[in-house]
Structure formats: C-alpha cells, structure tokens
Structure 1
Amino acid sequence: MDKLREMEVFVAIVDQGSFTGACDKLGLSAPAVSRAVNSLEARLGTPLLARTTRSVRPTDAGLTYLEACRKVLDVITDAEATVAADSANPVGTLTLSAPVLFGQRYVAPLVNAFLLRYPDVSVNAVYNDRTTRLLEEGVDIAIRIGHLGDSSTFAMPLGFVRRRTYAAPAYLAAHGEPLHPKDLVQHHCVSFTGVSAPLEWVFNENGTRLPVRLQPRMIVDLGPAAILAAVDGVGIIQLLSYQAAPEVENGKLQPILTAFEPESTPVNLLHVERRSTSGKIRAFVEFATETLRNNAHLQGVDATAIRASR
C-alpha cells in the first residue's frame, strides 16, 4: 500500500472513530487497514493511535501527523477538483456543522438549495450545540454563534443575535410583567441551558453586567422543549433572538425587559485557512454569506417589526 493510501486509512480511522468504520468507508478489509497503520507507525517510529477495547484515538504524535495528512490529502483533492471542474461547477464532499436549532431553521434549507444548484457536490451536515474543532474533526465549514478564539480559521461575519427575555401573553396577563430583572425572583422561569446558566441569568444595566439568581420552575436542555414551555405559559424564558423569532412573529411570545439586554452575540461562518482555495468551499461560502446576510433575524431587525410589516 502506498504512502498516500496509508494516510487516507489513518485519517479515516480517526474520522470514523474505529478500524471497522475505516474499513466501511474505504472498502478495505480489516487486515489491510491494520497493515496500513502498522506500516505508518513502523516508518515513523512512533505510535499514532491509542487503542482500547472500546475506542481508538490519536496520540499526541498522531494529532500532529493527522493535520499533516489532511493538508496533503486536501492539496491532492483540490488539484483533482481544479482539473475536473471550474469554480462555477464545484465537486466533492463538503462537511459542515451548525448549532441544532439554527441549523434546522436557517442552514438546512440553505444546504438543500446549494445541493440543487451544484449537482456534483455532496454534503455531510452535522448539527450539534458543541463547539466543533474544524481541523481535528475534518470539518470544512462551521456556523458559530459566539465570540471567536480560533486563530487557525477564517471568519466571515454573517450578523448577530441577542439574548432576550420572553414570556407568553397569557403568562403576563396572569402574573404581570416584570419591570426590572430583579423582579424575576417573584416569577416562574424556564431555564434553557443552551442559552443561560440554569440558576443565573445575565442582563446589562447602564453598561454594567447584571447577574440575577433564580429558582427556575423548569430547567431544560432541548431548545424546542424550552420554547414550548414558554409558549404554554410555564414561565419566562431567555432565548437567543433567532430562536424565538417564529413565536414572536405569530404572537405566541413577546420580548420583555428589553432595556436590560446584554450585548449582541456575533454569528460567523468559519472555514480553515488551508482549504480556502477549494472550489466546493468557496462556492458554499459565497452562497451562504449572501443568503444569511440578507436574513433580517441576523441583522438586528426585531421579530415584532417583521410581524408588523406583514
């Protein structure tokens, strides 16, 4: 087996999390995959994978070699893609990640439209609410909500969202509307752990951070369940503005305590610098930034204003 194929095997084992997964992905036998790893480790003189009965993970040396392998394989893939198709007709498989609810509402329709426009591109879409490590996980593009710290990535600003406090009109009619964040201790609250700490919500008063301790009626880690609880009048909730946008537009939730909102949170599209010349990535970056920058919910337009304009 040549060196490039051995690199492909090593990367596949890491990406799939197992030797079996690499066999399935590459169509190789288990002995062939084992021989490839043994050959690599013998040639380099160091273990690349730490194996247990339940898992396989790269060693420190393996992580370093993994990045080098990805660079080599990416260069080859991009070179082949350049020969096979021009930039207007990208080819290959694109791996992207986005937060679950954001992905469901905004990214999934965009991916579908992208695939319809570019028939020679396939997409591996991963929706989760943790921070994706692009290099280590082989992700081409990630949509991230929050302040960035990745020096190894390019960031394309898409807009911003706000952490806002909401309540159902029926709840406010029954319990009254809090006029100051500290009034929340007298109210039922639903804490969505994907946005706020369970027992402490953060506000801003005259430019100063204002934390408020709570005893929530409900603590939930699933966005749709948290939103449903607020809509049903279980209690007041904090959400990112895009998460509550449909419910605000249809009148099921309304923002409160708007004078005490924290600073806005940026939304960015990230891609790894070394892959910036890839046709498939360049095409998706252009397609996504154009679409999402035109999304009113990411440009500071309040959902109530959108509702009023209809």
Structure 2
Amino acid sequence: MDRYHEMAMFDALSERPSLASAARRLNVSGATMARAIARLEARLGVVLLQRSTQGVVLTPAGSAFMADCSRILKAVGEAEASAKGLHVKPQGSLTVLMPSLFSRHVMPPMLAEYLDAYPQITLFAHYHDRFPHINEEGLDVAVWIGTLPDSSLIARPVGFVTSVVCASPTYLSASGVPAKPDDLKRHRLIATHAFKGYVHWDFQEQGSPTCIKVRCQLSCATVQAAIDAAAHGAGLIRCLNYPLHDDFENGRLQRVLQRYEGPALPVHVIYRERRSASMRVRSFVDFIVDALRGHPALHVATE
C-alpha cells in the first residue's frame, strides 16, 4: 500500500474515533486498517494512537500528523479537481476557526448565507479563543481579534472591537451610574471566569493606563453567562462589545465609562495562501470579509 492510501486511512480516524468505524467508512476490513496504521507507526518511528477498549485516542505526534495528512490530502484533491476543470465552482471541505462568541452573536446568518450560495461546500466551523495555528492544525481560514503576531499568514482587516463596561438599566437606576473607574469599588461586579474573586479591569484615564482591582460578588464560567446575569440586574460586566450589540440596541444593557475605554482591537480574517489559494478558500474569505465589514458591532471608534 502506498503512502497516500496509508495517510487516507489515518485521516479517516478524524471523524471516526475507532479503527472499526473508520474501516467501515472506507469500506475496508478492520485488519486492513490496523495493518495500515501499524505500517505508518513503524515507518515514522512514533506511536500515533493510544488504543483502549473504548476506541483510540491520538497521541501528540498523532495529532500533529493528522493535521498534516488532512492538509496534504486536501491539497491533492484540489490539484485533481483543478486538472479536471472543477475549480471553476467552489466545492469540497473548508475548516475555519473563530472566537467562541462569534458562534452565537455574529457568524450564524453569515455561514447560512454562504452555504446557500455555495451548496457544494462542506463547512467545519470551530470556535476557540486562541491564536489559530493554521498550518499545524490543518485550518483554512480563521478570524482573529487582537494584534497579529509576526506571521507569513495573509490578514485582511474587517473592523474593530473594544472592551466595554455595562449593566442593566434597572441596576443602574437602583445603584447609580459610575462616573469614573474608581466608582466601581462601590458597585457589584461580575467576573467572566469561574472561581475568580477579583476583577482586574484596565482603563485609560487622562491618556494614561490605569487598572482597577475590585472584589466581585458573582463569577461566571462563561462570558455569555455573565452577560445574561448583567442583563437581569446582577451588576456590572466588562467584555468585548460585539456580543453586546443586540443588548445595547434593545435596551437590555447600558454602556458606561465610555470615555475611559482602552484602545480598540483590530479584527482580521487570516489564511495561508494568496494567489495559490483554492477557489473554496477564496470564496469564503471574500464573502466573510464583506459580511464582517458590514456588521455594525465591528464599527467601533478607533480613537
């Protein structure tokens, strides 16, 4: 068996976390699948899978090799499609990574509209608040909030977001509106991390950075839980503005201390290739860049 087919068999485990189910997907016997993985491990000199009665789990070396296999097999498929003249219309699979709260507040209608426009695309959307390692993870496109590290990746700017402090009108009516950051010491604050007893909120005061450390009365495991608590009058929350856009529009939350907010953070769509990017990558990047640039939550002031 050649290396391509060994890699294809190993890649089948990305969707079927057992040798038997992956074998059924490829319509081969379990013994054939096991022998292919064993040959791979012997040739590479590393253990790719940890086996148990519950199935198989990738080792760190296996995870890295899986990402490389997925990327290489995808490139081979694109090369064959191009040779056949199938590259005219976007098709195939696309893997994207975006910040977690984008999955609820920004991306759903955009993804639905893109899939309506390109029905031959299969989209795998991952959500995580970390810098995307596109090459290592086999990703095609990612959205990143914040300063970009030095990288060979292509980055297209789509807007800005900023950290804001807010609370419900009911809470502010009962407890008063803070006029300056130091006033927060007399308010109920909500932390966006579980088991966190204090919040450390950074501000800009008369052009200089300042930090307020205040004990909080409520700590939430997720930002969304903290937002919901604030909307029900539990206190003040500080987070990026984009998941709050609808709450500001409908009056559930009210923004405070706006003059003390720090610099806005840039938002970019990033990907690997430029001229050599496949049609499916180019179609998604062009579509999502236009859609994000039109989203009102990314139109905050940059000064």
Class of the TM-score when normalised by the shorter of the 2 chains: 0.7 to 0.9
The CA distance in 2 between the partners of 1:213 and 1:106, in whole Å, is: 31
Q: Secondary structure at the match of 1:147?
A: coil
| Aligned residue runs from structure 1 range 194-273, under 5 A | 199-273=199-273
Q: Is the aligned partner of 1:49 residue 2:48?
A: yes
Name the Cα RMSD after superposition.
2.9
The CA distance in 1 between the partners of 2:173 and 2:284, in whole Å, is: 46
Runs of 4 or more consecutive aligned structure 1 residues displaced over 4 Å after TM superposition: 14-18, 62-68, 84-88
Between 134-143 and 287-296, report the one with greater CA deviation.
134-143
User: TM-score when scaled to structure 2?
Assistant: 0.86
The CA distance in 1 between the partners of 2:46 and 2:273, in whole Å, is: 28
CA contact (8 A) 1:11 1:66 kept: yes
CA contact (8 A) 2:67 2:137 kept: no
Between 270-279 and 90-99, report the one with greater CA deviation.
270-279
CA contact (8 A) 2:189 2:217 kept: yes
Which letter does structure 2 place at the counterpart of 1:49? L
CA contact (8 A) 1:94 1:280 kept: yes
- CA distance 1:138–1:64, shift in 2 (3 Å): closer
The CA distance in 2 between the partners of 1:22 and 1:145, in whole Å, is: 36
The CA distance in 2 between the partners of 1:3 and 1:229, in whole Å, is: 54
Q: Secondary structure at the match of 1:73?
A: helix
Which letter does structure 2 place at the counterpart of 1:121? I
Give structure 2 stretches of 5+ with no counterpart: none
Which letter does structure 2 place at the counterpart of 1:282? R
Q: Deviations over 1:19-68 (max 9, x none)?
A: 45644654444322221122223334x114152547633455x5675565
Which letter does structure 1 place at the counterpart of 2:94? L
Q: Is the aligned partner of 1:5 residue 2:8?
A: no
Q: Deviations over 1:115-167 (max 9, x none)?
A: 11112111122234444433333322222222233725322221110000112
Which letter does structure 2 place at the counterpart of 1:127? Y
The CA distance in 2 between the partners of 1:28 and 1:51, in whole Å, is: 21
Cα drift, residue 246 of structure 1: 0.6
Which letter does structure 1 place at the counterpart of 2:183? D
Between 116-125 and 198-207, report the one with greater CA deviation.
198-207
- CA distance 1:107–1:287, shift in 2 (3 Å): same
Cα drift, residue 208 of structure 1: 2.7
Aligned residue pairs total 299
The CA distance in 2 between the partners of 1:67 and 1:138, in whole Å, is: 5
Which letter does structure 1 place at the counterpart of 2:50? R
User: TM-score when scaled to structure 1?
Assistant: 0.84
**Partner residue of 1:123?**
123
CA contact (8 A) 2:193 2:220 kept: yes
Cα drift, residue 256 of structure 1: 0.7
Between 206-215 and 289-298, report the one with greater CA deviation.
206-215
Give structure 1 stretches of 5+ with no counterpart: 303-310
Same amino acid, percent of matched pairs: 34
